């Protein structure tokens, strides 16, 4: 028998092969067994199998086009351009389309099941061949072979619509529900509540997913979409829940949300209740959930990284967010992103001229605390804050601000200063630790920058970090000394108890020897008070009350300083004070000499303060001003008009300084520049209030007992040179050493010069000059043609 | 404005709070010829700047930290001579 | 400054002023002195227009812990010991301020200047008459020698 004679039988068994399959009924099982035997005996199995599968494939090919037609976007409108309401409606249409498409595809696939089952029977016991699976693969392959470009949009719509219904009771949904109380639309499907389609959607959704799983194309067709939608969902959820809210722990809430709501949803999609076939999806879901958790952490971390600057600014109120972030950051790999983004934020929001130094320092200390919490090993801290330190170094008032912060009453850094009193010898401790505890040695984390980080730095506390802005504690101590000198000399404090207390605190931190001169300064002030008291109470003193009978007499009190221990005083010109004042000072000096034996006093007439009454025709004005200010106005008492030049000669004060100080009296409306450089006293002048932003300086009320120390610029001029000035001075001293060295040794390499200078550095105030600083300094001299740099050696230019 | 009557002003000084530094009188030398430290700072064997480290003047008009010159006079080579002029050292009392 | 003894404090000051304002013809090896403040080497040039013009000498200073109340131990060292009636070939110098006439007001600088002036006033380059005997019998430390000072007018 040839194949042809069996054809009729084959067609009876597999009516799909007939030209007009509709006319043939599926034969019954008995008949099929007979035909099957014929096929098997004649070794026609593979022939029949080939024919049937080929036919099915052709059928499917014709249908696949129809299937994909459902996926054509219904209109050209970009979905992203739609408003929420419209999008929801579009989603619903998409939902219907997808549902129908899958339904049809499913029915089509089902229509082959009987045929496939019979075909399977031809292979009898051959377990290796699973034709149903082959069919599914075939369907999947065919679908993909004609994949339209934007097939995803309908799938998105389908799952989005369902997800919306599904998550209407979520955390976020809750909020919206309460805010939209009484709305007539259902929160899930967006239809009128009376017409709610939620149940229908869930039911259809359920069925469609089951169909997809049965055909085996859920994952290939919709897997990516589902994941993506869940990503989006997680992201919006994280964004929503973390929005500018740093004061609550949220990660656990989010984890719970993933574990319940998202898990339910996954189960709903991947494990339809009626399905009996796919138990293995259980473990898949578990794996999937782990991925989603990771996604959640990543999403949370990213969001917080974007907000990190604000979190730092709001610290410690933002502590919960910080703790959450430190938890999630360790589960992700986003440290370098955090570093980069935070640095960017710092640059654009903190490190520019519009921000006050003190605010930068506050942010810096907050950043230290936050970053240390997030990343206890300190590598991150080191890396991120490096630009802040670099920037702060470029600001002139940094050291001063830090010192002010450290000694400010009630500031938390003051507390820290007290608390961490044992860090004094941290370097030594560190060394020792290396020697004795080597078994506990831990390598630096891999992301620590080896070139910049020292363990000491990363482990040091906030105060040390502040001090480290400049690298040396000596510089800070010097600045503190300048600050203290300024305060002592300008405020004539009655109570230096606080200053003594702060000094003791600083000593705990920096050690006695560095702060020795500060101790002497405070002792000077304390002793001065005693001396003042003694000179006025001792009956043998020429200042005692028996001798104060002249009407002009006024009390003189003095701060007597031990010159060597105070910072250099600025403006060392000797103001020529009015004779009456000078006479009183001489009196005081005499009294001092007779009290102190072999000592005498050198007055610094440009320092100190004078309290004067200006008696005008109809009123008395009281001022507390510097001796220079007082002397200026004093001279107008004797002569109504003065030129700057005459006054400058009379007072021995440089004209520029004089002009600045005269400005104060101009602002008070008491002096007027009549013509260029010529000033006249005006009794009823009106204070020029507009000049200065400091309203109270010029208001009539505060003209009483006004304290003006320095010039009339915005800042009070300090009595002593700032650490910066002194540093320049010291470099100048270095320069004279260098010239001395080079004169004798002709030429020297940089490190040799540095070594020699190091020895002098310990001599004076203890300021060190790093190799880099020295090179910059020398290169500057080379630019000025004072030095020649050749063959790696510096020599003097001749 | 110039034809207005002369203004009248009188200044009364209520108080002067001055600043000055102390130094040893009777000497123009800034530093002690023995330890080379400023007189206003104590000698290297002392810690406190004041009081406990006084200055000693000789009749020869040379001045040293008292501690320094006493230490010198205590050595076998000193022969009671001033370190600077080698005249006999006699403490001058003011 | 903390931790320095009074003698080290003073030596430190002297070293700085020597480097900063070196007297003509004198260069202190500051590196070495910095390493060990108690031993200094000073390179000295023979003064122009004298018998030692163009010659280079090395002076070594050793300071005891009671400097400046005790004089330093000063000797010529190195290849070139000046030939001079007061300088022995082992480098010992016969100079009264180094022993009996020492005063704490003297300094490294003033000692060096004295030695330069001693060399400069020399009219004939020769060793001390007792050189060979002295060199054989003397203590290593010249301060242990009971000097019978040569006439300064030599």
Place of tokens 């008459």: C129
Distance CA(A517)–CA(A549), nearest Å, equals 40
Categorize the per-residue pLDDT at C40 as very low, low, confident or very high, splitting at 50, 70 and 90: very high
The minimum CA-CA distance between C48 and chain A, rounded to whole Å, is 16
Answer with the residue of higher pLDDT: A513 or A187: A513
Q: List residues of A whose CB lies inside 8 A of any C CB.
A: 513, 736-737, 740-741, 743-745, 752, 755-756, 758-760, 762-763, 766
Q: How, if at all, do strands A609-615 and B10-24 pair? A: antiparallel
Q: Residue C135, SS3?
A: helix
**Which of C8, C16, C24, C112 to mutate to test binding with chain A, by most A CBs within 10 Å of its CB?**
C16
Is C102 within 8 Å of B77 when comparing Cβ atoms? Answer: yes
- The predicted-structure confidence for A669-680, as pLDDT tens digits, reads as follows 888 888 888 888
Q: Quickly state the pLDDT bin for C76 (edges 50, 70, 90).
A: very high
Give the end-to-end CA distance of chain A in Å, rounded to a whole number.
121
Q: Which residues of A touch C20 (CB under 8 A)?
A: 736-737, 740, 760
Contacting residues for A311 by C-beta, under 8 A, at least 6 apart: A246, A304, A318, A321, A322, A325, A370
Closest chain C C-alpha to A797 CA, distance in angstroms: 18
pLDDT (tens digit, 9 = 90+) per residue, A363-379? 888 888 888 888 877 77
Instruction: Give, as one character, the DSSP assignment of residue C129.
Output: T
Residue of B11, B17, B26 with shortest CB distance to A637:
B11
From A522's Cα to the closest Cα of chain C, the distance in A is 21
First and final C-alpha spacing in chain B: 61
Greater confidence (A258 vs A696) lies with A258
What distance in Å separates the CA atoms of residue A104 and residue A100, rounded to the nearest whole number? 6
Contacting chains of C (3 CB pairs or more, <8 Å) are A, B
> Nearest C-alpha of chain B: how many angstroms from A601?
5
Q: Residue A546: which pLDDT band, with cuts at 50, 70 and 90?
A: low
Mean pLDDT, range A553-566, rounded to an integer: 85
SS3 A2: coil
Average pLDDT over residues A576-601: 86
Return d(Cα A173, Cα B93) in angstroms, integer: 97
Query: H-type helices in A271-378, by residue range?
Result: 281-314, 319-329, 335-349, 357-374
Cα–Cα distance for residue pair C6/A763, rounded to 1 Å: 14
Query: Which of A577, A578, A599, A601 has the most B C-beta neighbours within 10 Å, making it the best mutation to test the interface with B?
Result: A599
Q: What is the DSSP letter of C82?
A: -
Minimum CA–CA partner of C8 in chain B: B44
Rg (CA), chain A: 45
Sign of the four-CA dihedral A117, A123, A125, A129: negative
Q: Which of residues 431-490 of A touch B (CB under 8 A)?
A: 489
Interface of B with C (CB under 8 A): 33-37, 43-45, 68, 71-72, 75, 77, 81, 83-84, 86
pLDDT at res. A718 = 56
Q: For residue C92, what are the β-bridge partners?
A: C75
- Closest listed residue to residue C101, CA positions, set A505, A292, B84, A349: B84
The C-alpha atoms of residue B83 and residue B18 are separated, in whole angstroms, by: 39
Whether C31 sits inside 8 A of A760 (CB atoms) is no
Asked if C20 contacts A763 with a C-beta cutoff of 8 angstroms, the reply is: no
Least confident of A22-31, A97-106, B9-18: A22-31
Owner of token pair 């001075």: A729
Residues 514-553 of chain A with CB under 8 A from chain B are 520, 523, 527, 552
Structure confidence by residue, pLDDT tens digits, B58-84: 888 788 888 888 889 888 888 888 888
Q: What is the per-residue pLDDT for C154? A: 42
pLDDT at A708 > cutoff 50: no
The pLDDT of A536-563, averaged and rounded, is 73
Integer angstrom CA distances of residue B53 from B32, B64, B80, C69: 12, 10, 21, 18
> Tokens at residue C33, please?
């002195």
Residue among C10, C70, C102 minimizing CB distance to B35: C10
pLDDT at B67: 87
Partners of residue B35 in chain C, C-beta under 8 Å: 6, 9-10, 68
- Name the pLDDT band for A418 (thresholds 50, 70, 90): low
B17-51 pLDDT, tens per residue?
A: 888 888 877 666 678 889 888 887 788 887 655 55
Cis preceding-peptide flag for C68 (omega within 30 of 0): yes
Identify the H or E element spanning A624.
strand A620-625
CB-based burial, B7-28: b 16+ in 10 Å, e otherwise: bebebebeebbbbbbbbbeebe
List of chain C residues whose C-beta atoms are within 8 Å of the C-beta of residue B30: none
User: Between A137 and A558, where is the model more confident?
Assistant: A558
Q: Which residue has the higher pLDDT, A469 or A718?
A: A469
d(CA B77, CA C68): 12
Give the closest of C12, C13, C19 to A740, CB-based.
C19
State which residue of chain B sits closest to A578, comparing Cα positions.
B13
Q: How far is CA C142 from CA A356, C90, C126, C137, C139, in A?
A: 67, 10, 20, 11, 7
The set of catalytic residues of C is: 94
**Does residue A426 register a pLDDT over 50?**
no
pLDDT band at C87 (very low <50, low <70, confident <90, very high): very high
- Which range, A706-710, B52-56, C123-127, has the best average confidence (pLDDT)? C123-127
Q: pLDDT of A1-46, one tens digit each?
A: 555 667 777 777 777 777 665 655 667 777 777 777 777 777 777 7
Q: Which pTM was predicted?
A: 0.56
pLDDT at residue number C58: 93
CA distance A764 to A478: 11
Of A489, A527, A598, the CB nearest to B19: A489
Q: Is pLDDT larger for residue A34 or for residue B16?
A: B16
Q: Which residues of B touch A627 (CB under 8 A)?
A: 16, 18
Question: CA C34, CA A741: separation in Å to the nearest integer?
Answer: 15
Provide the percentage of residues in chain A whose pLDDT is more than 70.
74
Mean per-residue pLDDT of chain B: 79
Of B36, B37, B83, the CB nearest to C103: B83
Report the phi/psi class of residue B36: left, alpha or beta, with left for phi > 0 and alpha for psi in -120 to 50.
left
Q: Which chains touch B (3 or more CB pairs under 8 A)?
A: A, C
Helix (H, G, I), strand (E, B) or coil at A753: helix
Handedness of CA A677, A681, A682, A686 (dihedral sign): positive
Residue A178 pLDDT: 41
The residue that leads in pLDDT, A600 or A706, is: A600
Burial A217-226 (b: 16+ CB within 10 A, else e): bbebbbeebb
Q: Is C1 on the interface with A (CB under 8 A)?
A: yes
ipTM over cut 0.85: no
Contacts of A469 (CB under 8 A, 6+ apart): A389, A392, A393, A398, A399, A402
> HSE of A459 in the Cβ direction (CA atoms, 13 Å)?
9
Which of A48-62, A323-337, A443-457 is predicted with the least confidence, judged by mean pLDDT? A443-457
Q: Which candidate in C69, C98, C106, C107 is best for mutational testing of the B interface (most B CBs within 10 A)?
A: C69
Let me know: does A472 contact A768? Beta carbons within 8 Å. yes
Listed residue (A322, A459, A451, A434) closest to A377, CA to CA? A459
Cα–Cα distance, A288 to A286 (Å, whole number): 5
pLDDT digits (tens, 9 = 90+) for C94-126: 898 998 889 999 999 999 999 999 999 888 888
């Amino acid at each position: 028998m040839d194949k042809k004679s069996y054809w009729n039988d084959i067609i009876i068994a597999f009516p799909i092969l007939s030209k007009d399959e509709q006319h043939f009924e599926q034969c019954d099982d008995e008949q099929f067994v007979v035909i099957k035997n014929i096929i098997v005996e004649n070794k026609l199995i593979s022939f029949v199998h080939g024919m049937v599968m080929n036919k099915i494939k052709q059928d499917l090919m014709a249908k696949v086009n129809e299937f994909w037609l459902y996926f054509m976007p219904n209109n050209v409108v970009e979905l992203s351009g739609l408003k929420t309401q419209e999008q929801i409606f579009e989603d619903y249409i998409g939902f219907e389309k997808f549902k129908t498409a899958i339904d049809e595809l499913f029915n089509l696939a089902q229509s082959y099941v009987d045929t496939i089952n019979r075909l399977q029977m031809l292979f009898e016991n051959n377990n290796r061949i699973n034709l149903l699976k082959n069919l599914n693969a075939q369907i999947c392959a065919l679908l993909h072979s004609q994949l339209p470009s934007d097939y995803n949009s309908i799938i998105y719509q389908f799952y989005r619509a369902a997800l919306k219904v599904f998550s209407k009771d979520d955390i976020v949904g809750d909020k919206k529900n309460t805010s939209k109380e009484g709305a007539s639309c259902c929160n899930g499907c967006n239809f009128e509540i009376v017409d709610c389609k939620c149940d229908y959607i869930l039911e259809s959704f359920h069925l469609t997913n089951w169909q997809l799983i049965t055909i085996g194309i859920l994952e290939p067709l919709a897997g990516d979409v589902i994941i993506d939608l869940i990503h989006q969902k997680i992201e919006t959820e994280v964004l929503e829940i973390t929005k500018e809210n740093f004061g609550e722990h949220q990660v656990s809430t989010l984890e719970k949300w993933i574990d319940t709501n998202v898990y339910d949803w996954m189960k709903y999609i991947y494990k339809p209740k009626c399905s009996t076939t796919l138990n293995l999806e259980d473990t898949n879901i578990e794996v999937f959930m782990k991925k989603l958790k990771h996604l959640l952490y990543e999403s949370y971390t990213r969001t917080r990284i974007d907000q990190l600057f604000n979190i730092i600014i709001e610290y410690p109120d933002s502590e919960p967010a910080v703790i959450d972030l430190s938890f999630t950051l360790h589960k992700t790999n986003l440290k370098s992103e955090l570093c980069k983004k935070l640095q960017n934020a710092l640059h654009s929001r903190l490190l520019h001229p519009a921000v006050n130094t003190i605010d930068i320092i506050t942010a810096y200390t907050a950043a230290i605390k936050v970053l240390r919490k997030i990343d206890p090993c300190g590598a991150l801290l080191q890396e991120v804050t490096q630009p802040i330190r670099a920037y702060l170094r470029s600001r002139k008032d940094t050291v001063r601000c830090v010192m002010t912060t450290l000694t400010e009453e009630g500031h938390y850094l003051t507390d820290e200063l007290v608390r961490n009193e044992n860090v004094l010898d941290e370097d030594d401790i560190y060394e020792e630790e290396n020697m004795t505890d080597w078994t506990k040695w831990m390598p630096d984390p891999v992301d620590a920058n080896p070139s910049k980080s020292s363990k000491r730095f990363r482990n040091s506390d906030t105060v040390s970090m502040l001090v480290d802005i400049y690298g040396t504690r000596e510089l800070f101590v010097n600045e503190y000394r300048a600050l203290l000198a300024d305060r002592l000399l300008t405020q004539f404090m009655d109570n230096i108890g606080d200053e003594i207390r702060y000094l003791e605190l600083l000593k705990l931190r920096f050690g006695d020897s560095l702060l020795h001169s500060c101790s002497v300064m405070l002792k000077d002030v304390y002793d001065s008070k005693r001396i003042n008291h003694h000179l006025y109470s001792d009956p043998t003193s020429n200042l005692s009350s028996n001798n104060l009978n002249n009407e002009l007499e006024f009390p003189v009190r003095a701060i007597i300083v031990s010159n060597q221990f105070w910072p250099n005083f600025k403006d060392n010109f000797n103001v020529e004070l009015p004779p009456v004042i000078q006479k009183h000072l001489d009196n005081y000096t005499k009294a001092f000499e007779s009290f102190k034996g072999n000592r005498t006093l050198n007055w610094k007439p440009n320092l100190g303060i004078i309290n004067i009454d200006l008696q005008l025709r109809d009123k008395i004005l009281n001022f507390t001003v510097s001796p220079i200010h007082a002397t200026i106005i004093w001279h107008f008492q004797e002569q109504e008009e003065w030129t700057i030049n005459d006054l400058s000669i009379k007072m021995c004060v440089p004209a520029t300084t004089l002009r600045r100080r005269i400005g104060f009296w101009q602002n008070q409306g008491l002096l007027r520049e009549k013509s260029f450089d010529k000033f006249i006293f005006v009794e009823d002048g009106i204070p020029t209030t507009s000049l200065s932003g400091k309203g109270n300086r010029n208001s009539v009320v505060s003209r009483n007992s006004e304290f003006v120390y320095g010039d009339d610029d915005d800042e009070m001029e300090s009595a002593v040179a700032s650490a910066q000035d002194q540093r320049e001075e010291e470099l100048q001293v270095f320069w004279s050493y260098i010239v001395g060295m080079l004169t004798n040794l002709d030429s020297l390499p940089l490190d040799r010069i540095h070594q020699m200078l190091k020895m002098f550095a310990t001599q004076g105030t203890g300021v060190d000059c790093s190799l880099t600083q020295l090179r910059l300094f020398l290169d500057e001299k080379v630019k000025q043609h004072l030095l020649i740099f050749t063959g790696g050696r510096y020599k003097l230019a001749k | 404005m110039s034809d207005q009557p002369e203004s009248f002003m009188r200044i009364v000084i209520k108080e002067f709070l001055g600043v000055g530094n102390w130094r040893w009188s009777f000497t123009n030398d800034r530093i002690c010829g023995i330890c080379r430290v400023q007189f206003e700072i104590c000698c290297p064997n002392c810690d406190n700047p004041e009081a406990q480290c006084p200055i000693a003047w000789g009749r020869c008009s040379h001045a040293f930290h008292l501690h320094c010159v006493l230490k010198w006079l205590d050595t076998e080579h000193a022969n009671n001579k001033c370190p600077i002029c080698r005249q006999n050292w006699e403490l001058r009392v003011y | 400054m903390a931790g320095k003894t009074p003698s080290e404090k003073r030596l430190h000051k002297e070293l700085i002023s020597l480097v900063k304002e070196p007297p003509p013809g004198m260069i202190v090896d500051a590196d070495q002195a910095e390493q060990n403040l108690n031993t200094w080497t000073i390179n000295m040039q023979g003064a122009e227009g004298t018998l030692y013009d163009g010659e280079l000498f090395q002076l070594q200073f050793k300071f005891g812990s009671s400097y400046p109340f005790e004089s330093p131990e000063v000797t010529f060292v190195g290849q070139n010991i000046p030939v001079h009636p007061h300088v022995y070939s082992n480098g010992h110098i016969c100079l009264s301020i180094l022993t009996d006439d020492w005063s704490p007001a003297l300094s490294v600088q003033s000692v060096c200047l004295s030695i330069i002036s001693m060399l400069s006033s020399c009219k004939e380059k020769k060793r001390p008459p007792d050189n060979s005997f002295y060199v054989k019998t003397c203590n290593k430390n010249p301060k242990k020698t009971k000097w019978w000072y040569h006439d300064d007018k030599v």
